[in-house]
Every structure is written in structure tokens, then in C-alpha cells.
Structure 1
């Protein structure tokens, strides 16, 4: 029996490792060509459609001013742009700060919400902002984001030149990546995700996942879909599946860059990532049980990917870890003992290779310091994810069984980073 479980776990693990290797090959080819596409599109004459930028903000006084300043610096016709800040039942100075900027800049429009219509989470705030939006294109930024001046231009450029794209998603980078070990690990994680999962899936399947920030979507699509699902903790992933179902694809276009703050404390990271895991599990089961009704069976590619990422792959790792520990105390008569150690080492080397390759796509990121951080990442950060997914799965199961109400957790922000860390934006470009 132990051999059966071990073989099963190894299959699950190596299936995912080979799939990631496949995605990384696509990500590499894409990284060598996307700038040519951007240059070709830029040379063509194009119009400037009206854009509504939605920024949901709940108790964001620490970061909202820098975000508003970045909106002012956007290189897009201001008469074609409106920035709608949804002050979602804040109890701090968020509303006051937004109002001050709105008095100076007419394109900034505050929307203040109170219960029972406000304070329900990001999806609800976005839906309230959507009601006020007048633009042809809807762009979303989190309240801690500082997009580069040409970000909106590139997001819109993607939609204007790709009529089959329902949404265009850009790239996000970590502003406080050098704050501590945790932010360095998160920085490596985000770079790897974007070049492996986003770029790789776009290259091979013309699919990408709408992130929580730095994306543009046609307002007509949101109107057809009825906005965001307010029951979803990962409203971005859930929206992606509904865009697919309408027959559109989601384009990854990393020319559009935003910078965002990441958790600086483990407790904040844990709560944020638990919300992500629970939200994605909600999406998995929502569409898994409805799969026979879906028109676009291509969605199976992403459904299987998320199913493996959050359930099967982690189950395989959990089983293999458990068998390894048990075998230290009890003789389980494993027939694959030595081979399993070889596969463990090869898995580690493959992990390091994929992550360092992703880092090489970003200027200044493939450093000796980051390389050693990747080695540490495998035995620390990646193992924390295992525990977190188990915990999130338990919470989500309990929510479903007990029919509990979804509770939104807003990620804690931190005061402005040092000027030395801000300079990383310049180096990365």
C-alpha cells in the first residue's frame, strides 16, 4: 500500500514539474518576441478610447496618495480618462486624501460607500465603481499600485489591436523587494509566476489569468457578465473563467508595468495567501461541477492547471513527505527507496533551473544573492505554501459544510519604502 501511494504522489509531482518545464519553454520564446509586437503596434496609427480606472480602497491612507500621484503621471489623454477611487467604508483618512486630489484634478472621481452597500470586499467595491464608470475600457489597480506612465497606453494598445482579447493583463513588480527575506522570496515568486504561468500559458494556449491589478477589460464584457462575483475571494480568477466562456481570450502583455507593495510580515503574507488559496479553490469547484454545461471546453486547460496547483500537486507532496517521515520510524518495505531520493534531487534541480531562468528575463534579477535565495526558497517558502494550502482547504471545506458567509481580508499596507528601494524601479527597466 505504501508503494502505491508513493508511486501516485511521484506521478502527481512530476506531472506538474514537466508541465512547468513545458510552460517555461513557451515563456522563454514569448519573452524574446513580445517587444517586437509592441513596436509594430506602436507604429500603427490608433485611437485613444475612453478609459475608466477603478481603484478600490478600504483604509488605504498609508499608500493611496502615491497611487494617485502615479495616476496623474499617466501618459494618456486626461480628457479620455477618469480615475474612480472607491473609498469603501474606510475609517481612516482615505476619503479625505482622495477628495483633496479630486478638487485639484477633475479626472479623479471619489465614490464613497457605506454599509449595506459598502465594506463587503473588493468585488463589491469594484461593482460600485463600475456603476459610475463611463469609459469604453475598464482598468483596475489596487490602492498600493504605482503604474509606470505608459502602462495604460500599452493595456489599451493590446485591446485595440487584438479584437479577440476580452482583457489584457500587464506585469507587476515588487516595490519593496529588498525590505527583508520575505519580500525577496515574494519578488522571486511573482517573477516566476508571470514568466512561467502567464507568459507560458499565453504562448501555448492563448490563455492567461486576470490578476487583481494592472489589467484592462472591455466595459461591454463586464456589463454582459454583470460585473464581479461578490462571493469570490479571488474575484480576478473567477472573472477570467467567465471571460473565457464568452469566447474571448486574455492576453498577457508585459509592456504594461505596475509596481506594488508586498507583505513585509509573515502574518500578513499568511492571511493574504490563505485568501488567495481559498478563493481559487472556490473557483475550481464552481467550474468543475459546471464543466458539462460550459460552451468553451478549452477552459479545461486552466481548470486542470488550478486543480493540480491547489489540490493534486500539493496532495502529492504531502503524501510523499508523510511516507518519507514514516519510513524513518517504520519499515514500509518501499521498493523505490533509492530512486525516490534521486527523483527528489532531480526535482530540486529542476525547480532551481526554472526559477533562475525566469529571473534571467528581468534585468538585474539574476544575482548571486537571488540565486542563494532560490536555493533557500525550496526548503522554506515552498514548504510554507504546502501547509498554507492544507489550512486553506480546511477553512473552505468548513465554509461549504457549515454554509458560512465569505469574509474578506484586506492586506495590511506598510509605510512608504526607503528611497534606496525606490531606485530599484529604475534598475529593473
Structure 2
């Protein structure tokens, strides 16, 4: 109890001290950080993405005649598919999982206490496909428990985990497992999710976001050695690595972020494999987007609070850059919110000059430069990503709306989630509900 109270006080102090210090240095310093930090990170991600492309990606064979990656020894791959109320999507998911070009696979579907026809559909499919096995849980236990049960039932050292509404590309499993076979210190490989739901502005912006933002971040983090999180919708794991860290935690709202940090704290590496394509469903309404991003933000905050005590030792020094990036991003969100609040209050009431915010516009031409760099980032990512999705440059028209829609949502979710986690007591068991999966599902595009 005393430790939790000390942690909460320390977190509040960690947030309040840098915000107060920056305001004490003056309004120009605050505005400079608010506008130059995104500018720096955008350039950092572009540089990392281009280096990744130049060093590895441009040399990879890609096209309709490419051969599936060779796996020495032809090892068995276990594909785990946790399902909860997936009657609308699970047939497609299992169809693509079972039809991998790499033939030595088994597919394990875990029905996590679904209340619709998921169990009936899974049993029906299992009678027609000898490579499919089904595990039924009596009641909903959460994705972490479902994955644990699937791992226990699997016969392979290599586990490919996908969501019950995701569709794997025909070579995705082999691409995910290849680094695990080649490098013994790789504990996990994260894939390349592609968006199927794109019938609204929210959906279309996400198509560009997953390439221009998430794709570049994953490439850059892979270069400096630590990945903040694997993609929960498509990732592969080495069973021995999972066993060493105790598998997925039962009380974390985002099991993918938590397992990524657990593996890297145990000195396992995580790779990013952009050729491991997986077509996924995402929210297309602001309400659904808010719930999803709030969950993601809360998951990041929970992992931060869980690990903040143990990261200061020299043996965890490789996690420091990732830790610093998260701290600066959170500081930026709180500072931006404080600036808006102080500016609004200052319009109606007198404030001490030390904390008064006279304007919310960037100094000099920073705003114009930020817009130009933002468009440059989108262009670079579209160039890198065009091999994986046809006509990716068309997404530039929609992605220009990203700062207006997503920055504000991400800012708000960071504020709400970090404050909630900092004040939270003991975490309950994390269980899932069926998310918003969009309005219209576009057919899966096979990679060419």
C-alpha cells in the first residue's frame, strides 16, 4: 500500500515539475517545445524509416513471382486465434490462416466464452480442416488467458498470434517466423497491419496513419534496438522467451505492450517485419476511435507505471531511449493542455505574468515548417509503403487531416488515461468486449 501511494506521489511530481519548470523559463520556451518537439520527432522518424528502407527493405524481393521465405529445418508454426463474439469474421480469419503457402502449420482457435455462434462455427470448421483445433473456455477470461491456453495447446516453438477478425497474407506466417529461426536472441516479431475499413474520413485517415506514423515509428525503433510494442493484432513469439517472462499478464488492459516490455527487460530483441501483412478492421466513428485510443493510451500508461521502478539500473539501459520518448510525449500532452487552459483563462481573468499565455501560435515560421515536414513525412512513408499496398500515394489526400483529428484525440486520451492510471488502485482482471470494427469492410487485397 505504501509503495503504491509513493508511486502515485512520484508520478504527480514527475508530471508537475517539468511543466512548472518550462513555464518558469517563459512563454517562448513553452511554445518552442510544443512546436519543435513534433518537428524533431517527425524528422527522426523519417530518417529512421529511410535508413531501414535503404539498409534492408530495398533489397528484398517483392512481386507476384516472389517465393515464400525459406525456413531452415521446415519447423512447425502454430497460429493462435483468440476469439470472442467473432461470428461475423472468424470464417474469413481462419480461411486465410489455413491457406498459408508455408504448409507446415497448425491453427488453434481459442473461443473465449463467446455468447454468439462463434463456438458453433469453430466446431463446424474444425471438422472440415484437420490442421485446425479448437479450445473452448467456459466463460470470458480475457485475451491474455486465451493466448496462454493457446500456447499451452500448441505443439510448436514458434507462435503466430492474430486477432479473430484479422486476415493474414499468404506468406505472413513464414515472414514472421523467419527472424525467430535465424536469430536465437529474437523473442518476438511484429507484423504490418493494413486497414480494411475505409468508408469514412476516420477510416481513410487510419490507412495513412498506419504507414506514415506507425510504420515509420516501428522502423525507427527497430534501428535503435527497442520496440515500444508489438502489434497485438499480428505478432510472432518464441515460446521459450514467453516461458521465461511468464507469458501475457492477466491484469494489463493491453497485453501486447506489456509483453513487449517484459521480453525486452529480459534482454530479448523484437524485430519489425513489414512484409508480414495482415488485413485488419478498425473503428470508423469518432466514438469507436475514442474508445480504442483510450484503451491504447491506458495500456501504455499501465506499462509505464509497472516498469518505472526497475528501469534505472544499468542492465536496462537499452530501454532508456524508449522510456525517454514516452516521457517527452506525455510531457508534451500535459504542457499543451496546460497552455490551452491558461490561454483561455487569460482571456477572461488576469493571471500572473509568469504563467500567462498570450498566444497559441508557433514562433516565427515554425508552423509553416511543421506543416511542410508533416507532408514530407507522409510522402516518404507512402513511397516506402507503396510496394505493400497499391495506390498508397492516394492516401496523402486523407492523411493531411491527421493532425486535426488524431492529434487532438491522442492528446485527450493521454491526459485521461495517464491521470486515471496514476490514481488507480489494484488493477482488475483485463477482459475484452467486441470493439467497433467499422461500417464497411473492404475485401482483403492480396499482396502482389
Category of TM-score, reference length = shorter chain: 0.7 to 0.9
Distance in 1 (CA, whole Å) between partners of 2:362 and 2:401 is 24
Are the structure 2 counterparts of residues 318 and 353 from structure 1 closer, same or farther at C-alpha, using a change threshold of 3 Å?
farther
- Offset at residue 329 of structure 1 (A): 4.8
Among residues 151, 167, 170, which one is paired with 2:191 in the alignment? 170
Structure 1 residues 153, 63: closer, same or farther in 2, change over 3 A?
A: same
TM-score, normalised via structure 2 length: 0.84
- Structure 2 gaps of 5+ residues are 1-22
Question: Does residue 388 of structure 1 match 2:423?
Answer: no
CA shift in 2, pair 1:133/1:374, >3 Å: same
Structure-1 residue corresponding to 2:108: 84
1:73 deviation in Å?
Answer: 1.3
Contact 1:272–1:411, Cα closer than 8 Å, also in 2: no
Match of 2:144 in 1: 123
Pairwise CA RMSD: 2.8
Pair 1:19 & 2:41 matched: yes
Aligned match for 2:159, one of 121, 134, 138: 138
Task: Report the Cα offset of residue 328 of structure 1.
Answer: 4.7
1:304 is matched with which residue?
324
Higher helix share: 1
Count of equivalent residues: 414
The counterpart of 2:180, out of the listed 134, 159, 165, is 159
Is 1:184 the equivalent of 2:204? yes
* Aligned match for 2:335, one of 284, 301, 316: 316
Kindly state the Cα deviation for residue 19 of structure 1 after the two structures are TM-superposed: 2.9
Residue in 1 aligned with 2:14? none
Deviations 1:304-354 (A, max 9, x none): 222233x21212322333344445556776799676363334333333332
The answer to whether structure 1 residue 50 and structure 2 residue 76 are counterparts is yes
Is the Cα contact below 8 Å between 1:9 and 1:315 reproduced in 2?
no
- Match for residue 65 of structure 1? 91
Q: Provide the secondary structure at the position in 1 that maps to 2:393.
A: coil
- Structure 2 CA distance for aligned equivalents of residues 365 and 268 of structure 1: 25
Residue number in structure 2 paired with 1:100 = 124
Q: Does 1:405 align with 2:428?
A: yes
- Secondary structure of 2:433 counterpart: coil
Any unmatched runs of 5+ in structure 1? none
Counterpart Cα distance in 2 of 1:259 and 1:48:
26
Q: Are 1:359 and 2:395 matched, yes or no?
A: no
- How far residue 9 of structure 1 moved from its aligned partner, in angstroms, is 5.5
Please state whether the residue corresponding to 1:258 is helix, strand or coil. Answer: strand
**2: CA distance, partners of 1:10 / 1:357:** 25
Q: 1:52 to 1:287 in 2, by over 3 A?
A: same
Equivalents in 1 of 2:70, 2:286: separation in Å? Answer: 47
Tell me if the contact between 1:66 and 1:146 (Cα under 8 Å) persists in the aligned partners.
Answer: yes
| 2:172–2:276 Cα contact (<8 Å) kept | yes
After TM superposition, the score normalised by the length of structure 1 is 0.87
